[in-house]
Amino acid sequence: MTNDQPINTVQFVVFSVNGQLCSLSIEEVVEILLVPVITSIPGIHETIEGVINLRGNIIPVINLHKRFQLPPAIKHKKNRIVIVQGDNENIGLIVEEVKMVTKFEEDNVEPPPGVQLEKDIFKGFAKFDGQVIGVLDLKKVLYSLGA
Amino acid sequence: MADFDLSAYLGVFLDEVDEQLQILDSEILILEEKPSDTQTIQNIFRAAHTLKGSSASMGFEKMKEFTHHLENVFDLIRNQLLTVTPALVDVIFESIDFIKRLKEAIVNGSLDKMDIVPHVDKLHQLKRDGEQPPKREEVTLKSTGKVPVKLDDYQKNVIQNAYTFGHNAVAVSVSLMKDTLMKNVRALLVHNNLREAGEIIAAFPPVEEMEKETDFTGEMTYILLTMQTKQEIIDIVSQVSDIESVDVVELAEADNDAPANEAADANVKETKEPEIIEKEKRSSIKQKVHPTVRVDVDRLEHLMNLVGELVIDQTRLVDVRSRLTENETSREDDIDTLDEVTNHLSRVITELQEGMMKTRMLPIEQLFNRFPRMVRDTAQKSEKEIEFIMEGKETELDRSLIEEISDPIIHLLRNSIDHGIEAPEEREKIGKPRKGKIVLRAAHEENHIVISIKDDGKGIDPQKVKESAIKRGSISEEEASKLTDKELIFLIFKSGVSTAEKITDISGRGVGMDIVRAHIENLNGLIDIESTVGEGTIFTVKLPLTLAIISSLLVKFGAKTFAIPLVNVLEIIRLNTDDIQIVNNKEVGLVRGRVLPLVRMKERLQIEDDESIPKHKHREFVIVVGIADKRIGLIADKTLGNQEIVIKSLGKYVGSPPYIAGATIMGDGSVALILDVSSVVREEGAQLLENVEINRKKELKEEQQFVTFKLDTEEYGLEIQRAKDIVSVPNITKVVNTSDDLLGIINLRGTMLPVVDLRKRFHLEVKEITQKSRIIVVENEGEDVGFLVDEVTQVLKTNHHQIEHPPAGSQYNHSDLIKGISKDGNRVVILLDFDKIIHSTDIQPIQQPFNNEEPILKAN
């Protein structure tokens, strides 16, 4: 599992959600797409925006704004879908903007502070160029949706 | 052998065991009917032998031993030392079942725990009971081989048969080199090689002896039925190394007393029994087998998915192509090329798709073959006599379906036997043949497979079902009293309802039909029952041919496109908003006098509105869908047409949202959802149609519908019952010497039809036939008549309150051709009396030739 690897050996994909910088290990990311037409599905969890067609496969897409209980996102042409590996299938995350792919230095990553909500989602925070980038706990983002 | 990894062959072995057991089952049933049929015995023996051989090679000792004993019994039958009695057949069937259990034990790894002794004892008992003094005369065959060759009656019989099929019987003698190691292996190789050349009917020494290294001398003789020449046989055998000599001697044909070969001293002489000559035309002993490859189902599944993707891409191409013609008129050449390519691609993909489907298809025979045995057992248990007929065995369907429908069919068959067919005495009493008849039939109908089970038993009594249902509390008495007979019969699909007076261990507990229905619903199928008390019942199951690619109807619910499996769609109707009523806070529609529960899917699914679709409409699209026995109407905003779709799962992450069965990818690359018809229907069908206002029904009876059409500016009406057909104007063949009104005759699907120009008839100015012109075919006693009108407008629904009846002879009705005038707002429709029109029109001249045997006039 990528989670167990020391944090400084892998690259991270850095993107923003509601202005906040988040990142995911590059090994968790399958690909990054422009936002295609999303087909919403009635009667499913509200954080799932819908499904998309990725080269013949049906992929669910999560609205991170809803996931993090943030105000609704404004559509922008820089929006992307980050396809990540879920337990059984690939899952897409809608992000505001993909910023870069980078390495973090171990010294610059700190465990999350005691705030309840953030602890749920972040594995840690990295300081990079004077900015704070959250390292997302993908499992929790995907599978601890609550009711 | 121990060095091999046998597990790799286990799958093949188990498949083979299944296959052979199937053969045993079906052949033994034939044997029971015709105990002296040599070919059947041959087939049985061969199957048992194969079983023994393969279980021995896999090292399943117990299985081998047991099948060996079974084979011995067959051997006795073959040599006519044992007569075929029902008791014997029972024991054999028991033994086959035991082998099935052994097979399962092998799968579970518990073979060692199985006790074969009691079963072996039973077989021994049979042998002792049936042993008769041997009556076979032995024919000694002197051949160049050094092994004595003896043929028994049975084998001679087979040889006789072979001659009639044009085969040749030869004795092949093979000597192995003296110092050869593993003589038994060589012998088996020879045996196998010869099997390719033809049919081995006997081996001397017997194969079992050859297998034992110690006793085997390396000399052997086979009696072979073949179509190959001597030299070919020698070549085939010589492929095996360490062979000293091969000798092939033809056995003389029975009718031909002259020895065909001086080396063959012996003739196989037999008087042909008439039975053999009359033998039914079963295929020759050696059936032509097409070479096959066993393929992993997963691999097929993968290929099927890829084909599915091709199908999607192809629809996308077609989509792009059609948009190109709209925008890029300047590049016609390129578009033509694109056209060519897409057309070719579509054809190839269609064929590929069909081909893939076919590889997944298996003849339903595989399934059906299990049934005769089951029917026999069930009939015996319930003391019924049954003639079981199976039709359409060759019908092919998706392999995944074959497994799925097995249980429902077994259940329906059991029901038919146990409840449907009466006891033999009872049948005789009411003048039916003693033997009940059950017909199981499979057939293709368009994209569906239809399986029907028909019995000539006592039928389902709706009243009994009603009583049972009320007793069980599935329905209240009041509710039940409103149901039609058919609806009552459908109550048997409710849990707990049974018409059986007594519960047997076969059926009658009332759980079964419930499960049958659930099964069929899962497969997106429909089930129907037709039953006449005293005459019998027909169950009809309609299933989609395959589960992977289906035809669907695309509709819009609000802004969303949904695909509805076409197998569930019965019809699409447009319903006037007036015909939609609220009953118990639920909307229902009145369709041809029947009440149909309606579901507004847009609201049910909470889909936002599509701005482009007007909110308030006078008419709604209603898609009538059905699952199993239930029918409901779904209100859609728009229908988009039919399309082949590939069902894709939404995946675990999304799970299974309500009313949605999956997703599919459309031609433009977008994702459409597939409606789960069964969940909608199930939810809706839970409440029975009650409290339907009776007066509404009455009103409906008084309602009349008219086909309306235009002549000049006026609108006229004809009762819808009288309008048989409305057709666009074909070539009209003029007929000489007829009245002016008669235009001529047309050929309507093979029937000649006189056509009257209604304009002329009404003394209106004659007009050219336009695109809108239609011929309305009016039903008329004796002969239908077509009327040419300017335009067919639509259907007028009215009740008789709205119709004014003009007095006969009034100034605008001097010819009495008008029945009435309907006024609905500004719309005035003149209702015509076509009886009078037809009678007052002179169409006699052409009536004449029509009544003759040979019409003089021919339509083109």
**Lowest model confidence (mean pLDDT) among B40-44, B146-150, B259-263:** B259-263
Diameter of chain B by CA atoms? 122
Q: What is the dihedral of CA B368, B373, B375, B377, to 10 degrees?
A: -160
The CATH code of domain A2-143 reads 2.40.50.180
The mean pLDDT value for B416-433 works out to 85
Alpha-carbon gap, residue B277 to B164, rounded angstroms: 9
Instruction: Please report the pLDDT score of residue B479 as a whole number.
Output: 76
SS3 letters across B75-141 = HHHHCCCCCCCHHHHHHHHHHHHHHHHHHHHHHHCCHHHCCCHHHHHHHHHHHHHHCCCCCCCCEEE
The CATH code of domain B365-460+499-544 reads 3.30.565.10
Please indicate whether residue B415 is annotated as part of the active site.
Answer: yes
Indicate the burial class of B500 (C-beta count within 10 angstroms; 0-12, 13-18, 19 or more): middle
Question: Hey, are the CB atoms on A48 and B653 less than 8 Å from each other?
Answer: yes
Alpha-carbon gap, residue B159 to B172, rounded angstroms: 15
Is residue A94 within 8 angstroms of chain B, CB to CB? no
Closest CA to B626 of B541, B750, B562: B541
Q: Whole-number mean pLDDT of chain B?
A: 74
CA of B518 vs chain A CAs: smallest distance (Å): 24
Question: Hey, are the CB atoms on A51 and B649 less than 8 Å from each other?
Answer: no
Among residues 554-583 of chain B, which lie with CB inside 8 Å of chain A? 560
pLDDT band at A83 (very low <50, low <70, confident <90, very high): very high
Q: Which residues of A touch B673 (CB under 8 A)?
A: 39, 41
Question: Hey, are the CB atoms on A53 and B660 less than 8 Å from each other?
Answer: no
At B405, the amino acid letter reads I
3-state SS, residue B370: coil
At B514, the amino acid letter reads D
Annotated catalytic residue, options B27, B32, B71, B219: B71
- Within its chain, how far is the Cα of A11 from the centroid? 15
pLDDT surpasses 50 at B848: no
3-state SS, residue B379: helix
Q: What is the dihedral of CA B773, B779, B785, B791, to 10 degrees?
A: -10
Alpha-carbon gap, residue B776 to B789, rounded angstroms: 7
Q: Which residues of B touch A40 (CB under 8 A)?
A: 560
The mean pLDDT value for B21-35 works out to 81
Annotated catalytic residue, options B43, B184, B415, B524: B415
Task: Sketch the domain layout of chain A as residue ranges.
Answer: 2-143
Instruction: Please report the pLDDT score of residue B743 as a whole number.
Output: 79
Q: Scanning every residue of chain A, which has its alpha carbon at the shortest distance from the alpha carbon of B656?
A: A44
In angstroms, the first-to-last Cα distance of chain B is 77
Q: What angle do CA B712, B716, B718 make, to 5 degrees?
A: 140
3-state SS, residue B628: strand
The mean pLDDT value for B124-142 works out to 52
Question: Hey, are the CB atoms on A60 and B658 less than 8 Å from each other?
Answer: no
Q: Under a CB-based contact definition with an 8 Å cutoff, are residues B210 and B203 in contact?
A: yes
pTM of the model: 0.44
Instruction: Please report the pLDDT score of residue A119 as a whole number.
Output: 54
Closest CA to B460 of B403, B514, B498: B498
Question: What H or E segment, with its residue span, contains residue B235?
Answer: helix B230-238
Question: Hey, are the CB atoms on A51 and B663 less than 8 Å from each other?
Answer: yes
Please indicate whether residue B448 is annotated as part of the active site.
Answer: no
Is residue A91 within 8 angstroms of chain B, CB to CB? yes
Instruction: Please report the pLDDT score of residue A61 as a whole number.
Output: 93
Closest CA to B488 of B525, B454, B516, B463: B463
How crowded is the C-beta side of B267, counted as CA atoms within 13 Å?
Answer: 12
Closest CA to A58 of A93, A90, A94, A95: A90
3-state SS, residue B654: helix
The CATH code of domain B549-692 reads 2.40.50.180
What 8-state DSSP symbol labels residue B644? E
pLDDT digits (tens, 9 = 90+) for B98-121: 888 888 888 777 777 777 777 788
Closest CA to A51 of B674, B314, B634, B312: B674
3-state SS, residue B485: helix
Mutate to test the interface with A, among B557, B649, B654, B659 (most CBs of A within 10 A): B654
**Lowest model confidence (mean pLDDT) among B142-156, B177-191, B739-753:** B142-156
Instruction: Please report the pLDDT score of residue B141 as a whole number.
Output: 44
Q: What share of chain B is helix, strand, coil (3-state, %, to 5)?
A: 40, 25, 30
Instruction: Please report the pLDDT score of residue B272 as a whole number.
Output: 40
Buried b (16+ CB within 10 A) or exposed e, B376-412: bebbeebebebebebebeebbbbbebbebbeebbbbb
The mean pLDDT value for B747-764 works out to 80
pLDDT surpasses 80 at B748: no
Instruction: Please report the pLDDT score of residue B446 as a whole number.
Output: 63
What would you report as the CA-atom Rg of chain A, rounded to the nearest whole angstrom? 15
CA of B321 vs chain A CAs: smallest distance (Å): 20
Question: Hey, are the CB atoms on A39 and B669 less than 8 Å from each other?
Answer: no
Q: Which residues of B touch A39 (CB under 8 A)?
A: 560, 663, 670-673
Among partner residues A40, A58, A142, which is closest to B650 by beta-carbon distance? A58
pLDDT band at B139 (very low <50, low <70, confident <90, very high): very low
SS3 letters across B505-523 = CCCCCCCHHHHHHHHHHHC
pLDDT band at B700 (very low <50, low <70, confident <90, very high): very low
Is residue B660 within 8 angstroms of chain A, CB to CB? yes
CA of B629 vs chain A CAs: smallest distance (Å): 27
Question: Hey, are the CB atoms on B650 and A43 less than 8 Å from each other?
Answer: no
The mean pLDDT value for B308-324 works out to 78
pLDDT digits (tens, 9 = 90+) for A95-116: 988 988 888 776 677 776 655 5
Instruction: Please report the pLDDT score of residue B22 as a whole number.
Output: 82
Among partner residues B605, B648, B657, which is closest to A58 by beta-carbon distance? B648
Q: Which residues of B touch A91 (CB under 8 A)?
A: 653
Is residue A92 within 8 angstroms of chain B, CB to CB? no
At B315, the amino acid letter reads T
pLDDT band at B620 (very low <50, low <70, confident <90, very high): confident
pLDDT band at A84 (very low <50, low <70, confident <90, very high): very high
Is residue A109 within 8 angstroms of chain B, CB to CB? no
Which tops the pLDDT comparison, A127 or B129?
A: A127
pLDDT band at B130 (very low <50, low <70, confident <90, very high): low
pLDDT digits (tens, 9 = 90+) for A51-80: 998 877 889 999 888 888 888 878 888 899
Instruction: Count A/B contacts: CB-CB distance under 8 Å.
Output: 72
Question: Hey, are the CB atoms on A43 and B653 less than 8 Å from each other?
Answer: no
Among partner residues A39, A48, A86, which is closest to B671 by beta-carbon distance? A39
Same fold, B549-692 and B697-851: yes
Q: From 3.30.110.30, 3.20.20.60, 2.10.240.10, 2.40.50.180, which CATH number describes the B697-851 domain?
A: 2.40.50.180
Q: Which residues of A touch B665 (CB under 8 A)?
A: 53, 56, 58
At B578, the amino acid letter reads D
What is the sign, positive or negative, of the torsion defined by CA atoms of B636, B638, B644, B646?
negative
Going by C-beta distance under 8 Å and a sequence separation of 6 or more, which residues neighbour residue B347?
A: none
Closest CA to A49 of A31, A33, A37, A34: A37
pLDDT surpasses 60 at B403: yes
Question: What H or E segment, with its residue span, contains residue B535?
Answer: none
Instruction: Please report the pLDDT score of residue A114 as a whole number.
Output: 59
The CATH code of domain B7-130 reads 1.20.120.160
Please indicate whether residue B747 is annotated as part of the active site.
Answer: no
Among partner residues A48, A58, A91, which is closest to B671 by beta-carbon distance? A58
Question: Hey, are the CB atoms on A58 and B652 less than 8 Å from each other?
Answer: no
Question: Hey, are the CB atoms on B651 and A60 less than 8 Å from each other?
Answer: yes
Buried b (16+ CB within 10 A) or exposed e, B8-46: eeeeebbebbeebbbbbbbbbbbbbeebebbbbbbbbbb
pLDDT band at A81 (very low <50, low <70, confident <90, very high): very high
Instruction: Please report the pLDDT score of residue A80 as a whole number.
Output: 92
**Lowest model confidence (mean pLDDT) among B373-387, B656-670, B688-702:** B688-702
Q: What angle do CA B267, B273, B276 make, to 5 degrees?
A: 100
Q: Under a CB-based contact definition with an 8 Å cutoff, are residues B191 and B243 in contact?
A: no
Going by C-beta distance under 8 Å and a sequence separation of 6 or more, which residues neighbour residue B147?
A: B173, B204, B205, B219, B220, B221
Going by C-beta distance under 8 Å and a sequence separation of 6 or more, which residues neighbour residue B454?
A: B438, B439, B441, B536, B537, B538, B539
pLDDT digits (tens, 9 = 90+) for B774-803: 888 887 776 788 888 888 887 777 766 677
Question: Hey, are the CB atoms on A88 and B663 less than 8 Å from each other?
Answer: no
Q: Which residues pair with A134 in a beta bridge?
A: A22, A125
* Fold of domain B139-265: Alpha-Beta Plaits (3.30.70)
DSSP conformation letters of B600-621: EHHHHTTPPPPTTS-S--SEEE
Is residue A5 within 8 angstroms of chain B, CB to CB? no
Among residues 267-306 of chain B, which lie with CB inside 8 Å of chain A? none
Instruction: Please report the pLDDT score of residue B856 as a whole number.
Output: 40
* Tokens read off for B342: 């897409």
Alpha-carbon gap, residue B738 to B657, rounded angstroms: 69
Alpha-carbon gap, residue B548 to B312, rounded angstroms: 13
Name the percent of chain B lying above pLDDT 90: 1
At B397, the amino acid letter reads L
3-state SS, residue B802: helix
Is residue A144 within 8 angstroms of chain B, CB to CB? no
Q: Which residues of B touch A87 (CB under 8 A)?
A: 652
Instruction: Please report the pLDDT score of residue B686 as a whole number.
Output: 44
Task: Sketch the domain layout of chain B as residue ranges.
Answer: 7-130, 139-265, 300-363, 365-460+499-544, 549-692, 697-851
Q: Do you know the residue count of chain B?
A: 860
